[in-house]
């Protein structure tokens, strides 16, 4: 078995996924400015996949510097509709704008993972999910956001599929783990390959 396993995230959903899978790990949030990393990537027109990978690597790299010899899992997720990359809504008005833009459209979630040890990138991966939102009326969007409250501000799409957000959709292609932001099957396969978990 390898050294300590650390998830570079404060996300309760990502921690839950690893815990439910029976992994022994610690979780430490990365101390990075995500917007400062994203800004130059956006200016150069980086793809949503590349943005997610760069952020996943940056999170894992920062935590790796604090925990020598540990195996660090960094992850990030971007959401794209055509060429547009979405960010977490700033307020409820912004959340309503997100949902209006996504209404009747199919958008993509791009979930990246990076594994780093002692600053060296051992592996990276991106999984995708496509989600089709049903057509939503302005009145329904208002009522929905009133019900879910500030939880709408906690995700890039202004919805949470594990809650009432599931009501917004007509079709989903992709696995649940990718949607939650941590593609578990490829991650577990790689951890087995690295000898980090029982194979």
Residues annotated as catalytic (active site), given as ranges: 76
Cα 88 to chain centroid, rounded: 11
Q: How many C-beta atoms lie closer than 10 Å to residue 104's C-beta?
A: 12
């Amino acid at each position: 078995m390898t050294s300590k396993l650390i998830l570079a995230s404060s996300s309760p959903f990502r921690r839950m996924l690893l815990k439910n899978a029976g992994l022994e790990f610690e979780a430490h949030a990365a101390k990075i400015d995500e917007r400062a990393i994203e800004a130059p990537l956006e200016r150069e027109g980086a793809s949503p996949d590349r943005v997610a990978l760069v952020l996943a690597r940056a999170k894992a790299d920062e935590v790796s510097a604090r925990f020598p010899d540990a195996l660090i899992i960094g992850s990030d997720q971007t959401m794209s509709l055509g060429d547009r990359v979405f960010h977490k809504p700033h307020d409820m008005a912004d959340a309503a704008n997100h949902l209006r833009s996504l209404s009747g459209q199919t958008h993509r979630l791009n979930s990246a993972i990076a594994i780093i040890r002692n600053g060296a990138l051992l592996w990276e991966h991106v999984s995708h999910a496509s989600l089709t939102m049903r057509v939503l009326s302005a009145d329904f969007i208002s009522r929905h956001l009133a019900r879910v409250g500030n939880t709408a501000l906690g995700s890039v799409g202004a919805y949470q599929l594990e809650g009432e957000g599931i009501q917004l959709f007509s079709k989903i292609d992709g696995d649940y783990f990718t949607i939650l932001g941590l593609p578990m099957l490829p991650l577990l396969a790689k951890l087995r390959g690295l000898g980090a978990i029982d194979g």
